[in-house]
Structure formats: C-alpha cells, structure tokens
Chains A and B, each alone.
Chain A
Amino acid sequence: MIIDHFPVLVVVLPLVGAFVTLLAGWADRRLCFPIAMATTFIQFCISLQILSRVMQTGPLHYNLGNWLPPWGIEYVIDQLNGFVLVVILFLCVLTCLYSYRSIHSEIDEKKIPAFYTVFLLLVTGVCGIAVTGDLFNLYVFLEISSLAAYALVALGREKRSLVSSFTYLVMGSVSACFILLGIGHLYIATGTLNMADLARLLPPLYGSTVIQSAFIFFIIGLSIKTALFPLHLWLPDAYRYSPSAVTVLLASVVSKIGVYALIRILFSVFTPAFIIIEIPVMEVFCWLAAVAIIGGSVLAIAQTDLKRMLAYSSVSQMGYILLGIGIADNLAVTGGILQILNHAVMKGCLFMIAGAFIYTSGIRSIDDLRGIARTMPLTAAAFVIAAASMIGIPPTAGFMSKWFIALGALESGQWIFVLVILASSLLTAIYFWKVIEYMYFRDPGTRCAEVVSTARDPPAGMLVPILILAAACVLFGIFVSIPLEVIEPFVTGILGGI
C-alpha cells in the first residue's frame, strides 16, 4: 500500500522534485514554479494524512529498505513531529505561492530555476529532520537544509547578501561541528545511533562525563541554529539581506525545525529525568531564554529597518519557545510547542508583509511607511492582526501560547518568568505600535510621498498567503483546542512520569 510509504515519500518527493525542477528549468523557466508548488502541496496533503493516522493509531515506524532498527535507519513519526511536519509544510506551500510574484523582482531571472531547486532541497532537509528517528540521519538532513539555506540567502541582489550568507555559513558550520561531536560521543558510549535505542541505553550512563559533555555539545550546537540570545548574531543580517520569500522560510521553517531537533534530543534521546535531575541545565536554559525574550525586544525597539526589527523580534519570540521547554512543566512545554505553530504563522505573515512593502514600493525603513495604510489597506490590516498576535492580545494565537507558558511558570513556582513574559508583551507592543501608528496616523514623509501614494496592495499571489496567515493568527487563537489535541498526548507522554 502506498499509504504505508508516506513517511519516506514526504522526504523523497521534494528530492526528486528538486532534480525535476532543475531539468525543467533548462527547458523553460516558467515550469519551475508549478513543479515546486505541486510538490509542496502534495507533501502537505501527505503530512496531513500522516498526522491523522498518528492521531488514530499512535506513532508510525518505517524501516528504510526494510532494515530492522537499530541497524537500519528508522523513521518514527509521533504527535510532535507529525505536528511540526504539518506546520512547516503549510508554511512551505504558502511561501512557494508567495515566491511566485515576489522572487521575480528580487533575483535575476536566470537564477529562478536555481531558486526553486534549492528551495525544494531545503524542504527535503527540513522534512527529513522532522521524520527521522536516527541521530546521524538527523545530522545529515540538518546539513542539507543548512547548505540550502546558505545558498538561498546568497541569492539576494545586494553585496551584503553574500557577506551575511557567509557569516551564516560560518556560524552554521560551527553549530554543525558541535552537533556532530555530540553524536560522536553518544556513539562511542553506546554503539548506536537510533534515538529509541539511545533512550533505552543511556539512563545507566547518565553519570558519565562523556554523555554529559555530549549533551552540552548538543545544547550549544542547536542554540546557535535556533539563534538563542548570545548566539544570535548571524540572524538579523541573514534575515535582512535575503529575498523576502527566503526570509519567510528562514523565520518560520528553518528556525522551527532547529527547535524541533532540540526538543527531540532533550526529551526523546535524553529523558526529562536526566535534564532536570542529573544536570540542572534547564535552569540555565530558562535564564538564557528570558534574556533572549527581553534582549530581543529591546534591540527590536532600536531598529529602523522593518525586516531587521522583525528579525530581532524573532530572537525574542524564539525565546518563548525555549522558555516553555526550559521550564519543563506540562503546561509550559505545551505552550512552547504551541508557539512553534503560532510563531511560524505570525512571523511568516509579518515577513511576507515586509516583502510586500518592498515589492510594491521598495520601502524598507519604518520611517518611510508613514501613511501607507491608505494605499495598501489590506496589507496594513493584516499587519495589525499579526502584530496583535505577536503582542499577545486575545483572542489571537500569540496570546494562547503566552498564556500556557505563563501558567506553566506559575505552576512550577517560577514567578520571575511570568514577569518576564508580561514585561516582554509591553516591549513588543512598543515596537509594533510604532509601526502601526506610522502606517495609519501619519502623513507620508516628503522623501517618499509619491511612492507611498502610488503604492497598491500586492498582487493576489502575494496577498492571498498574507491574508490566509493573518486569518490563521485569529483562528488558531479561537480554536486553540485543535492544535492542543495534537500536542497534549505528546507532552503527557514525555512528562507524565515526573
């Protein structure tokens, strides 16, 4: 039955798609978009099917080439990665649709086949990370997605794109080294790379320094990937100088898959007992996340460029996910995982809007956005909704994840983090409200009065994904029970024991 092969299809399909795109691009550049679009859309349908099967029958196991684990590579899909897979593919489909119009104005015409090819390779990488149950396989896919991401950042027309791509590459490689070292240590100590097998073999070895240093390596490596506060320096430039569609991918797909890998390693390879009792690393983690939440917001306030502001806001919002995980309480982890979805949707929407401003008027700076709500009403309205969600105003999605994380912090008696979350909402309100005030309540500045007055809402190809995501910001807030249904079994599965 083909349905049994869905876990591997979701990875193989974009890989094949990438090659087909490359070949088709040779013949006719216009073929690239439909192929990429069809591939991601089919993948999205497959991922939905996988998730519904996981919800009905429990985790799916798929043995690659029929080699039995732990010798062969095993793909395991439980509620968490089923959920993450759906989220990232949803964003991939919308980004692909969005890119059709936006990418033409941002990169050279002849690079378009290359863009879609690399795009699909990136999708291959992230889907691979999401489905695999093998630690080394995870590393391989992490590298595939990272390499693809470096290439995509470098596609930008500005010189600085190359520089920021290079910085990204250096930081990414450092992170990859740490992760590889961690994997090596674990392999030396246990002789296996299968996650389930590791989880079984590791507990007796928790006292060993080899295992503990492996754990630290993983944490450092993945912290760079997810741009945890002091290690975030590569992020603002990479986000700022990429083509808009690529920024959306980086912010809502690549960063999310890094967090997923972190959760997987923290909770499925190691056990909560280890991370909470053996090494009090979660304490450190929470504080770093708190610094990220506040620091990212403060830096965002200082920005004059819209995309950079959003990038720093990402640092802050990713801090929420890590804080939720760090508190390691049922409710907080639920909130953290919920934030994966919510942040992907909100930030995807906001970066698409930033791209829409660049597309229709070339405006990048917040100052120049004055009065643009009059000529781009729908885009501006979507911005308000997504911003309200970022601030955490109910009944938007952003409120729900903050609610859960704060509740978890209360439940575990860590009041200080409740205050951090609330204070950060205010800081977020400051920098988003500035943009809203400029868009709605000011006359266009003299410098770009003409550009602003002739701007129009972007074409449907860009507007539709923006509006879908803005609607999702509200819908996932009101119907929060839908994602919760998926997340809760996973969270009780891993944390129910303590």
Chain B
Amino acid sequence: MDQISFVPVLAICIPAVAAVLILIFRNHPMIRESWTILASFATLACVLSMLPLVFSGAEPYAALFQILPGLSISFRADAFALIFALTSSSLWVLNSFYSIGYMQAHHGKNLTRYFFCFSVAISAALGVAFSADLLTMFIFYEILTLSTYPLVVHAESEEARMAGRKYLAYLLTAGIFFLFSVLLTYFLTGGTAFAPGGILTGQGSALLMMILFITFLIGFAKAAWIPLHSWLPSAMVAPTPVSALLHAVAVVKAGVFGIARVVFYIFGIDMVSALGLGLLLASIASFTIIVASMMALTQDNLKKRLAYSTISQLSYILLGVALLTPSGIIAALIHIPFHAFMKITLFFSAGAIIVMTGIENISEMKGIGRKMPITMLMFAIGAIGICGLPPVCGIITKWYLALGAIEAGQLIFLVVILSSSILNVLYFFPIISTAFFEKPDVDTGVHEAPLFMLIPLTITGICSVLLFLFPDWPFLTLVTIAEAIITGSVLP
C-alpha cells in the first residue's frame, strides 16, 4: 500500500547535499570531514525512520515528475529497497570514520575529490535502492558508475588509470545494454514501473523475453558474474575504504539488487520459471560461485583474494534469486546485508594491515596476528562467516539457500553450495593460520591501527556475530515482508 512520503527522496538528497558542502569547504579539512560524518548519521536516521512504516505494511512512495506518460522519476521505499538502503547507509557511518583514519594514516591526497565522490556514490546507491521504476534506477546506476570512477583512479598511477579504464569499459558498456533493456521494456509495456509479479507477462514472444532477460543480465555487470567480473579485481587498486564499502557493498550489491528487482518486479517469478530462465541464471551463478572461489585460491594479494571471494559470494545472491522458491528468495535477500557486514570487516582488516605495515600479500603476513590481535580476530570472524560456520551470520544464508535448493528440487545446487563452502575454507584458513601460527621473518614494531580504524572494524565484526544471534532485527523481518510481497502470499 503506497503512502505518499518524501522521506526516500530526502535520504537520497542528504548525501548529495553533503557532497556540495564538501566541495564548498574544500579548504577546511576538519569541517569537510565533519560534513561526511554528519551526512552519514542523518542518512541513517532518515532510512531508519521509514522502518516502522514498512513494518506496518505501508510503502513510502513519491513520484517527482513525469517525463512521458508511463515514464516518470519515482521512488518507493518498500521492504526490498530498505534491505539494501539500510545496509549501505549503516555501513557508511562506520566507513566514514574508517576513511578519515585511513586517509590520515596514509597521507592521502585529493581528499576533497575523494569525499565528494564517496558521498555522490552513496546517494546513487540509495537512488538505486529506492527507485520505483527502471528509468530512475538506470539514472542512478549510471551515476554510481561515474562517481566511483574517480575513486578507482584515486592514486593516479598508471596501474590505477588502467584499472579505471577497464572499470568504465565494462560498466559503461553494460550500461548500454541496460539502457537497451529499459527501452525495450518501455516499448513493450508502455511503462517501466516495478510491480510485484512483473509487468512483462504476455507482452511479447518467448524468444524476445529471453533476449530481454539476457540483455538485462549483461546490463547488470555490476553483479560481477563470470565472465563479466574482471573489472572488480582490478578496481582493488582503489583505497581500501572504497574497496570495502563500494566494491564489496554499494556498487556490486546495486548489480545483484538490480537483477533481483528485474526478476521479481519486471519479469515475475511465473514467467521466469516458465521460460526456464531461472535455470539459466542459476547455472551462471553456480559457475561463478565455483570458478571465482578457485580463482581466489590462486591470489596472493589479500585484497584481490577478497575481491574474488566477493564475486563468488555475490553469486550466492543470484543463485537464491534464480531458485525462485520462498527460501531461495529469503537466502538471496538476507545475504545482501549479511555478506556486506562480513566482507566489510575483512576489507577493514586488510586496510588496517596495509596502513600499519604496508603489506598487501598474504605470504608476507606471517605472525601478524600477534602484532594486531584485534584486527586479525575480526578478520577471522569475517572469514568464518563467509565460510558459513557458526557463530557468524553467514550460516543463515547457507541454511536458507540449501532449503531453497531442496524446495526447488534441484539437488545439484546443494552440491554447489557445499563444495563452495569447502573452497571458502581452503582460501580463508591459510590466511588465518599464517597470521596467527607462523613466526615472522623479522620482528618489527608493528601495533594495532589507530582507533578511527580499529573501532569501525570491531563494530562490523561484532555485528556479524550479533546478526547470527538476532537475525530478526531488522533484516530478517524486512526480508520476510519482502518475500511475502514478491511471492504474493499473505503477510505474516
């Protein structure tokens, strides 16, 4: 049930306004950074304020203006959107502190550009979350690509520039496919608004629908499914806070979120399963899960290994979507916040190690666990979670995903999930054992990272555990509401 409210628009505007203020106060670092902090808290408050409404079954909705009949800029904060929005905005608060600490310790340059682009990117990610139609989503999706490009090339080295070019080459090309899909959808249906159950039913031949589905998939290359993944490991050249929040949460989740939106709200579950497209997506996702995990095994650079792990984990979400069963949907949606909290902990730890020791390769991290015990403990928590072991939230995803595979009667995917867990253990536990149980070659006076970095990473690590203990608040509740809307069942 729609309820006219401009709070979603406000949530998108706060980071955008902060971006402008950051530009204005570019010569006063203290004021500039405080705008980031203030905006992140305000955005979080704004998103949180919508929770009670959504829990009660209402959906804040705002249509700003109409471009053509059936084509408008509109926003809706349904439960589905809030999962992504709440994840991004809550982690942005922590990431802002971490960014400041990281940049101070790293003597970063061009900080105005950095914080400006960061705020714009968050605004765009929220825009993707709250958009109520394809065109609005496309607009923010493109802004997200462009605003993160300066962050990827932040170092301005040749390597960074090459990564930046690759980033744009992949994502802008994908954007073209996305645009084509939006055009075609509008042409077929005369509208692009999301509706549970889909809007494409009976609007074209099966072949056309398959083509459209594939162009949508290519359009959402931000989901980094293989073979459209190679921009993500390259983008790890960016500063660690960027890799942590944008290339593990906001940008890549915008991709999987988009795919989920399109499957559930444009095509509809019935059509996707009737055309066998769910199986196609599930195959792509399974392939990505296994292959990316294997690629992760071969990486010695910690951030690159984490990037391949992200690629593999994103496809968990895609697999959950593709199963098209209630448990599969729950697994997909719940993994958006869960993976975010776990992976950001891992990246935060990696960043702390880079700042304090300059080490980026796993083979050089011998004994680092004794020097930086808290950091590595949190890293271990994140790693355990990704592997799907208790007491961290990752196991909940795996549980629902396995249930979903059984519900769908596709036991092959159960095998995929289990073998992937083994691979996860294989690529994470060597890091932990190197860090804790091997002796360093030379003893250096390394100590824990500054509090600005240590506290955020501790919080995200603890949250990962808390989310296992109390998954209901708020994410699982949101997920069940969203699942009920998508499958059309009665609200619990």
Contacts and interface: CB of A to CB of B under 8 A. Distances in A.
Interface stretch (B182-190, B359-367, B379-387, B392-400): B182-190
A406 B146 CA distance: 23
A30 B179 CA distance: 51
B378 interface: no
A411 B184 CA distance: 10
Nearest to B184: A410
A426 B172 contact: yes
A442 B138 contact: no
B156 A406 contact: no
A407 B183 contact: yes
A395 B186 CA distance: 17
B186 A441 contact: no
Nearest to B160: A441
Given A394-B138, A410-B184, A437 B176 contact: no
A495 interface: no
A440 B150 contact: yes
Contacts of A441: 150, 153, 156, 160-161, 164
A410 B168 contact: no
B156 A393 contact: no
Interface in A398-457: 400, 403, 406-407, 410-411, 418, 422-423, 425-426, 429, 433, 437, 440-443
Contacts of B139: 394-395
Contact of A433 (B65, B67, B168, B183): B168
A190 interface: no
Contacts of A395: 73, 139
B173 interface: yes
Given A388-B146, A393-B146, A426-B172, A407 B67 contact: no
Contacts of A400: 67
B142 interface: yes
Interface string A163-205: 0000000000000000000000000000000000000000000
A426 B176 contact: yes
Nearest to B139: A394
B172 A403 contact: no
B492 to A, nearest CB: 38
Nearest to B140: A394
Contacts of A426: 172-173, 176
By secondary structure, the B interface counts as helix
B161 A422 contact: no
B180 interface: yes
B180 A418 contact: yes
Interface string B61-84: 000011100000100000000000
Interface string B142-160: 1000100010010010001
A231 interface: no
B176 A410 contact: no
B176 A422 contact: yes
B187 A393 contact: no
B184 A394 contact: no
Interface in A18-69: none
Q: Of residues B146, B161, B164, which shows the largest number of chain A Cβ atoms within 10 Å of its Cβ? A: B146
A410 B181 CA distance: 12
A78 B135 CA distance: 33
B164 A410 contact: no
A208 B67 CA distance: 44
A388 to B, nearest CB: 7
A403 B142 CA distance: 15
Nearest to A480: B67
A465 B168 CA distance: 30
Contact of B161 (A406, A429, A437): A437
Contacts of B179: 422, 425
Contact of B183 (A393, A418, A437, A442): A418
B180 A422 contact: yes
A213 interface: no
A388 B139 CA distance: 12
B183 A425 contact: no
Contact of A437 (B66, B146, B164, B180): B164
A426 B187 CA distance: 22
B163 to A, nearest CB: 11
Nearest to B186: A407
B109 to A, nearest CB: 11
A425 B161 CA distance: 21
A26 B39 CA distance: 60
Nearest to A393: B142
Contacts of B172: 426, 429
A440 B160 CA distance: 13
Q: Of residues A388, A422, A478, which shows the largest number of chain B Cβ atoms within 10 Å of its Cβ? A: A422
Q: Of residues B138, B164, B179, B184, which shows the largest number of chain A Cβ atoms within 10 Å of its Cβ? A: B179
Contact of A394 (B142, B150, B183): B142
Interface in A305-348: none
A432 to B, nearest CB: 11
Contacts of B142: 393-394
A481 interface: yes
Given A388-B146, A422-B179, A440-B150, A407 B187 contact: yes
A393 B179 CA distance: 10
A443 B164 CA distance: 16
Contacts of A442: 156, 161
Nearest to A478: B65
A418 B182 CA distance: 12
Interface string B126-142: 00000000010011001
Contacts of B66: 481
A400 B186 CA distance: 14
Contacts of B153: 437, 441
A400 B68 CA distance: 11
A117 B348 CA distance: 66
Contacts of A394: 135, 138-139, 142
Contacts of A393: 142, 146
A32 B153 CA distance: 48
Contacts of A429: 168, 172
A481 B186 contact: no
Given A393-B146, A441-B161, A425 B176 contact: yes
B138 A410 contact: no
Contacts of B146: 388, 393
A478 B67 CA distance: 8
A410 B183 contact: yes
A411 B187 contact: yes
Interface string B423-437: 000000000000000
A58 to B, nearest CB: 24
A429 B169 CA distance: 9
Interface in A437-487: 437, 440-443, 478-481
Contacts of B160: 441
B192 to A, nearest CB: 12
A386 to B, nearest CB: 14
Nearest to A373: B113
Contacts of A407: 183, 186-187
Nearest to B177: A422
Interface in B162-178: 164-165, 168, 172-173, 176
Interface of B: 65-67, 73, 135, 138-139, 142, 146, 150, 153, 156, 160-161, 164-165, 168, 172-173, 176, 179-180, 183-184, 186-187
Given A394-B138, A395-B73, A443-B156, 10 more contacts: A395-B139, A400-B67, A403-B183, A411-B187, A418-B183, A422-B179, A422-B180, A426-B172, A429-B168, A429-B172
6 contacts: A393-B142, A395-B139, A403-B183, A440-B150, A441-B161, A443-B156
Q: What 5 A-B pairs have minimum CB-CB distances, sorted nearest first?
A: A394-B139, A410-B187, A422-B176, A441-B153, A441-B156
